[in-house]
Amino acid sequence: MNSKELALSIARFLDSKKATDLEVIQIGELTTIGDYFVVATAGNTTLVKSLCEDLDEYLGRQGIEPKRIEGRSSAQWILMDYRDVIVHIFYSETRDFYSIDRVWADAPRLPLDLQGEGE
């Protein structure tokens, strides 16, 4: 699975788990930290943690392990680093505060066909 396929698979999975405001941002031409950001929002910190845990389990079953996960304890903003794909799961107020969408406004977005992706 290439990085684009992984990013889209992650977005579909998070959508199926009730994440909102999903975006897949192509960052590869603008930075060397990765190829894609997957950005998702959750309405409460319990859902933020749940999305992280469920995604980690889902990808782990496919043999895909994160390089690192940060922010689990506060559950305001969890960053999951899958090398070429970096996942940001935000609590809604935290996403508004950090305005990641504005910071990466020049980066193209992938169109999403969100049908959900089962376990």
CA–CA distance, 40 with 99 (Å, rounded to integer) = 12
The pLDDT of residue 119: 47
The pLDDT of residue 93: 95
Q: Which of 111, 113, 92 is CA-nearest to residue 45?
A: 92
Point out which residues pair with 6 in neighbouring strands. Answer: none
Q: What is the pLDDT of residues 60-109, one digit of tens each?
A: 999 999 999 999 999 999 999 999 999 999 999 999 999 988 999 999 99
The pLDDT of residue 114: 75
How do the domains of the chain map onto residue ranges?
3-103
Point out which residues pair with 88 in neighbouring strands. Answer: 39, 79
The pLDDT of residue 104: 93
Amino acid residing at 51: L
Q: What single string gives the DSSP state of each residue in 56-118? A: HHHHHTTT---SEEE-TTT-SEEEEEETTEEEEEEEHHHHHHHTHHHHTTTS-B---------
Could you tell me if 82 and 4 are in contact, meaning their C-beta atoms sit under 8 angstroms apart? no
Q: What is the pTM of this model?
A: 0.92
The pLDDT of residue 115: 63
- The mean pLDDT of 41-57, rounded to a whole number, is 98
- The mean pLDDT of 7-19, rounded to a whole number, is 97
For residue 46, report the phi and psi dihedrals to the nearest 5 degrees. -65, -40
Q: What is the pLDDT of residues 85-98, one digit of tens each?
A: 999 999 999 999 99
Overall fold of domain 3-103: Beta Polymerase; domain 2 (3.30.460)
